[in-house]
């Protein structure tokens, strides 16, 4: 075997080792970068959904509908046909383009209209939660540990009546279960 042939074989073996090292480095960078990117994408999706929901609530309120909040379970026993904000808004969100809200952490499209946070496992981490409980207003939002896990990724619409001033707040609950920046605080 000539010296030139040995040199070519040595170069070919070295190229394979180099290729394997480059592939390993690219795999390591991807393994570290993809989760960070996915987390940022979920946060961005929540922020955009909150802004979109706030616009939908503004449009809904611009129709001059009654600002009174009554949860679905709070209606009169006879089902008096009350066109309440919560049930009408919930219906509007479930239909049309607004019904496309998705919780990025659970994949849920459920819209819950209750004063208390969703307690059952089937309703945990809904896409949207509409409430009138002042404990869940933006300034007072301090959920329990159990509630944090149930609400992560949820868009929250809170009807608040404080000192004669009624507002609707729209924000989202981040991955850690804390409140994210308020998307809108609309006076009624």
Within a domain: 8: no
Q: What digits encode the pLDDT tens for the residues 74-125?
A: 433 333 333 345 566 666 666 655 557 888 888 888 888 777 887 766 667 8
Q: Give the dihedral sign, CA 53/140/64/114.
A: positive
Within a domain: 183: yes
pLDDT-derived band at 22, boundaries 50, 70, 90: very high
The angle, 0 to 180 degrees and rounded to 10, between the axes of the packed helices 85-94 and 3-62 is: 140
Q: Which of 42-46, 139-143, 161-165 has the lowest mean pLDDT?
A: 161-165
Within a domain: 3: no
Q: How far does CA 21 lie from the centroid of its chain?
A: 40
Within a domain: 138: yes
Within a domain: 148: yes
**Backbone angles phi and psi of 28, in degrees to 5:** -65, -45
Task: Write down the pLDDT at residue 83.
Answer: 37
Q: Say which residues have a Cβ less than 8 Å from residue 100's Cβ, sequence separation at least 6.
A: 109
Within a domain: 162: yes
Within a domain: 36: yes
Within a domain: 13: no
pTM for this one?
A: 0.69
Provide the number of structural domains found in the chain.
Answer: 1
Q: What is the largest CA-CA distance in the chain?
A: 100
* Residue 38: domain span: 19-187
């Amino acid at each position: 075997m000539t010296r030139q042939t040995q040199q070519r074989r040595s170069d070919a073996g070295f190229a394979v080792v180099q290729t394997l090292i480059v592939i390993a480095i690219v795999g390591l960078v991807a393994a570290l970068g993809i989760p960070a990117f996915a987390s940022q994408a979920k946060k961005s999706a929540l922020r955009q959904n909150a802004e979109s929901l706030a616009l939908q609530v503004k449009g809904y309120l611009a129709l001059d509908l009654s600002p009174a909040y009554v949860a679905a379970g709070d209606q009169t026993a006879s089902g008096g046909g009350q066109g309440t904000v919560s049930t009408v808004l919930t219906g509007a969100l479930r239909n049309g383009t607004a019904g496309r809200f998705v919780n990025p952490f659970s994949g849920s499209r459920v819209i819950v209209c209750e004063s208390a946070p969703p307690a059952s496992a089937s309703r945990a981490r809904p896409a949207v939660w509409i409430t009138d409980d002042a404990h869940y207003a933006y300034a007072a939002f301090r959920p329990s540990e159990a509630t944090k896990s149930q609400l992560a990724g949820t868009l929250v619409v809170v009807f608040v009546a404080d000192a004669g001033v009624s507002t609707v707040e729209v924000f989202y609950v981040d991955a850690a279960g804390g409140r994210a920046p308020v998307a809108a605080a609309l006076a009624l």
